[in-house]
């Protein structure tokens, strides 16, 4: 049985004995528009229905409104208006679950609600891929709020760590595209530090934070030119050394978590070399040469 057919059956069963859809009036009219794919007309009618005294507390009416708005959202191009329609759909479905005392529509409502929640998470992921940090944060927070509204006991900590690691990568890429803009550097550092505050053993955050510090130090040195005076050069070198020292404990942590990982050996070798610790740098370089190709492990 299709979703539309199930909704029609719920509404039919909800009518008093002997009353038909034609007698029911506005609610049946909204359903007929929905069945016919006339979503704009269905929206107008269902809004009047749920705002009227006869159906303000009717779970079936709110369920129908949720499905109407869900289908309008699915047909809408990506926009702020589409986000608002999705919000209305989720709010209506949530309301229908709260009003449903016998559980007759809970399964259908939650299935539709869960679909819309997943679209929020997917939009956050798409925004990350597009390096749109603000949009990603907005959609991930909306995802969190939507999940917890329906089930407050849901543990989203793993998802949050995953998202923040990805968000830190976005900030890092933005910084790498313009290393004179330290706003992105600061945001990357703060984001990875937030991950480590909750999960100190997070490999990705440790490695990425070390890399962010190290790359900034290297970039500073690369900007030195023959025209720079000695005091200026020394100042840059000292600032870079501080960045290398900040990178070191995070790269060591990542290396300790996976000693055979090539990327951490390269990272540590580069940090020690930049700190002029040739003994450790050479040792790590030799260790790297002994590792089999990653495809063979």
Instruction: Name the residue ranges covered by the structural domains of the chain.
Output: 1-154, 164-297
DSSP conformational letter for 77: P
Task: Supply 136's token pair.
Answer: 């990603």
Distance of alpha carbon 190 from alpha carbon 188, whole angstroms: 6
Distance of alpha carbon 119 from alpha carbon 111, whole angstroms: 13
Task: Specify the long-range contacts of residues 76-85, CB closer than 8 Å, at least 24 apart.
Answer: 78/123, 83/142
Buried b (16+ CB within 10 A) or exposed e, 22-52: eebebbbbbbbbbeeeebebbbebbeebbee
The predicted-structure confidence for 41-100, as pLDDT tens digits, reads as follows 999 999 999 999 989 999 999 999 999 999 999 999 888 899 999 999 999 999 999 999
1-154: CATH topology is 1.25.40
The predicted-structure confidence for 100-149, as pLDDT tens digits, reads as follows 988 888 999 999 999 999 999 999 999 999 999 999 999 999 999 999 99
Q: Considering only CA atoms, which of 199, 187, 182 is closest in space to residue 131?
A: 187
The answer to whether 1-154 and 164-297 have equal CATH topology is yes
Which conformational region is residue 103 in: left (phi greater than 0), alpha (psi within -120 to 50 degrees), or beta?
Answer: left
User: What radius of gyration, in Å, describes the C-alpha atoms of the chain?
Assistant: 28
Higher pLDDT, 248 or 1: 248
Q: Which CATH number fits domain 164-297: 3.90.110.10, 2.60.40.420, 1.10.3720.10, 1.25.40.10?
A: 1.25.40.10
The predicted-structure confidence for 162-171, as pLDDT tens digits, reads as follows 999 999 999 9
For residues 173-181, average pLDDT: 91
């Amino acid at each position: 049985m299709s979703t539309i057919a199930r909704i029609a059956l719920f509404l039919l069963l909800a009518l008093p004995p002997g009353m038909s859809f034609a007698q029911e009036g506005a609610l049946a009219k909204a359903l007929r528009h929905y069945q016919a794919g006339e979503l704009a007309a269905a929206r107008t009618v269902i809004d009047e229905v749920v705002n009227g005294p006869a159906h303000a507390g009717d779970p079936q009416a709110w369920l129908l409104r949720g499905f109407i708005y869900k289908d309008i959202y699915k047909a809408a191009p990506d926009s702020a208006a589409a986000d608002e329609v999705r919000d209305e759909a989720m709010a209506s479905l949530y309301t229908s679950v709260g009003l449903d005392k016998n559980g007759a529509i809970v399964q259908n409502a939650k299935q539709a609600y869960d679909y819309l929640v997943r679209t929020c998470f997917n939009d956050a992921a798409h925004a990350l891929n597009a390096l749109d940090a603000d949009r990603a944060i907005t959609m991930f927070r909306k995802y969190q709020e939507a999940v917890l509204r329906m089930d407050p006991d849901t543990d989203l900590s793993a998802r949050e760590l995953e998202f923040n690691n990805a968000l830190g990568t976005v900030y890092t890429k933005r910084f790498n595209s313009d290393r004179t803009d330290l706003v992105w550097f600061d945001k990357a550092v703060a984001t990875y530090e937030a991950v480590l505050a909750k999960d100190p053993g997070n490999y990705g955050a440790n490695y990425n934070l070390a890399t962010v510090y190290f790359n900034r130090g290297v970039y500073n040195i690369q900007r030195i030119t023959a025209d720079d005076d000695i005091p200026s050069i020394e100042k840059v070198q000292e600032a870079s050394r501080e960045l290398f020292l900040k990178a070191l404990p995070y790269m060591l942590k990542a290396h300790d978590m996976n000693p055979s990982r090539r990327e951490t050996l390269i990272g540590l070798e580069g940090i020690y070399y930049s700190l002029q610790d040739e003994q450790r740098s050479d040792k790590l370089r030799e260790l790297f040469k002994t590792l089999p190709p990653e495809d063979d492990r």
